[in-house]
Amino acid sequence: MEEFHLDGSIFPMVSRFEEMLKRNEAYYFERQDLEDIVDYYIQENAPQKAMKAIRFADSQYPDTSFFTLRKAQLWASNGKHQEALDAVSHLILFEPGNPDVHITRGSIFSMLGRPADAIECFKDALRIDRKLEDLYLFIAFEFQNMSKYAQAARYLRRALEFSPDNEAALFEMALCFEVTCKFNAGIRFFNNFLDQHPYSRVAWYALGQLYAKNSQFKLAVEAFEYSITVDEKFGAAWFSLANVLSASERFAEAIEAYKQCIQLDEPDANTLMFIGECYENSENYTTALEYYEQAIKLDPELADAWIGKGVAYDAQGKTYEALSFIKVGVNLDPSRGTFWFILGDLQLKLGKFEEAEEAYKKVLEIEPENIEIWVFLTNLLAERGKKQEALETIALSLKYHLAEPRLMLQHAEMMLLNGVEKEALVTAQMAFTLDGELFKNISDELPALSANDEIRQLNTWYGKNNKL
């Protein structure tokens, strides 16, 4: 669709058309002028005016495919998909060689959530004109909607063959590698691409993302820095660079990168919150609080900022004040197991054992895959005299974590506390066969096992033999 710039060329035609409507008269317009008027109204997001122009154009130039296509597009965008499909299907009978007809039909199928039908329409258009490079991207999108990322990648390669500067295709190619966890393949692709196109900011950015996903943080930093060298105002690259620096515990550098993001754009609550986290991890709690509070001021419903504020208060010894902030964060986003875990820790620290138990149980509901919470909860239950419940709880953990040595040792610990010594020995022995060194490293966390002579002897034997 032609895009009009404010050079005044379209305005006299639009003014003349609107004058005609006001006077309820019928002026003569060249067909091209009416096409331009329709496209102008669509571009200006004035669909009703565009439809009026189409109806008038139909009266002067009946059976013109351009106006039928625009009518179908407007119907489709207004939810009238069947009317749009009927109009386009009628056009195909008369203009089967018009790629725009097939493209419009494919776009309608895409809106209807029928990606396979959309792909066939786009392929029909490609058979007519192989140089319609946008179609390769359209087809890739539809394959992605079907979770067929290998097929999507094939069409994205074709799009990039036509236009290596197609940033949308580069972003989508990176997505295909990320979603399928084929990080190494993605890294090879973008390195090869950059050998031919070393000044592509998005390719360097995508390479950085894939390195980061692959836990190759040093190389990720280098890739993001190259992206920024190409375009120093590329905010996404600065933000990703900051994230990787933070993950690498290079907090001072991460803070500077986050601050650069703020300079390039308006202050963002999430960015301010991340800066607060960096200061918190650097044990600069006063400054961390300043940034958490700025984040909360911008977005009072940003749960992470409230949690961060609570953690910083607790680190300063203000646990009672911290508890109120943690509760706000939990209430804002109760689906986050980590938040409940922090809440439970603070409740425990304040001697609120029942509340701590409830919080830990909530973590289990949300994140049964979290090994640490099973240990924390069963220890708390045992300390509160609920030894049988502790045993039942840790036994349940092994249904989620088969052959997990830490939980098996915790299971044996709870067995001993409940007087089930033989089973405890068998369970501990099984754990030792999986990891003969673990018990030695965490024996202070398992006092009942540590006090049992047979357990110690078994562990010593397995520790020696596992090294052979």
Residue that is written with structure tokens 């725009």 in the block: 100
Rounded Cα–Cα distance for residues 362 and 9 (Å): 64
Q: Of 207, 145, 218, 222, nearest to 171 (Cα)?
A: 207
Q: What is the pLDDT of residue 8?
A: 62
List the chain pLDDT tens, one digit each, 468 residues. Answer: 445 444 568 899 999 999 999 999 999 999 999 999 999 999 999 999 999 999 999 999 988 889 999 999 999 989 999 999 999 988 888 888 999 999 999 999 999 999 999 999 999 999 999 888 899 999 999 999 999 999 999 999 999 999 999 999 999 999 999 999 999 999 999 999 999 999 999 999 999 999 999 999 999 999 999 999 999 999 999 999 999 999 999 999 999 999 999 999 889 999 999 999 999 999 999 999 999 999 999 999 999 999 999 999 999 999 999 999 999 999 999 999 999 999 999 999 999 999 999 999 999 999 999 999 999 999 999 999 999 999 999 999 999 998 899 999 999 999 999 999 999 999 999 999 998 889 888 989 999 999 999 998 888 887 665 554
Phi, psi of 78 (to 5 degrees): -100, 10
The answer for residues whose C-beta is within 8 angstroms of residue 308's C-beta and 6 or more apart is 273, 276, 277, 280, 288, 292
Rounded Cα–Cα distance for residues 158 and 154 (Å): 7
Residue that is written with structure tokens 């620096």 in the block: 245
Q: Which amino acid is at 60?
A: Q
Q: What is the pLDDT of residue 412?
A: 96
Q: Of 70, 44, 55, nearest to 20 (Cα)?
A: 55
pTM: 0.85
- 410 touches 394 (CB < 8 A): yes
- 184 touches 215 (CB < 8 A): no
Q: What is the pLDDT of residue 6?
A: 43
Q: What is the pLDDT of residue 94?
A: 85
The full set of domains in the chain, from first to last, is: 1-62 (no CATH), 268-367 (1.25.40.10), 371-468 (1.25.40.10)
Q: What is the pLDDT of residue 466?
A: 54
Q: Of 286, 214, 285, 225, nearest to 257 (Cα)?
A: 225
Longest CA–CA separation in the chain, Å:
104
3-state SS, residue 282? coil
Alpha helices in 146-214 (DSSP H): 149-162, 167-179, 183-196, 201-213
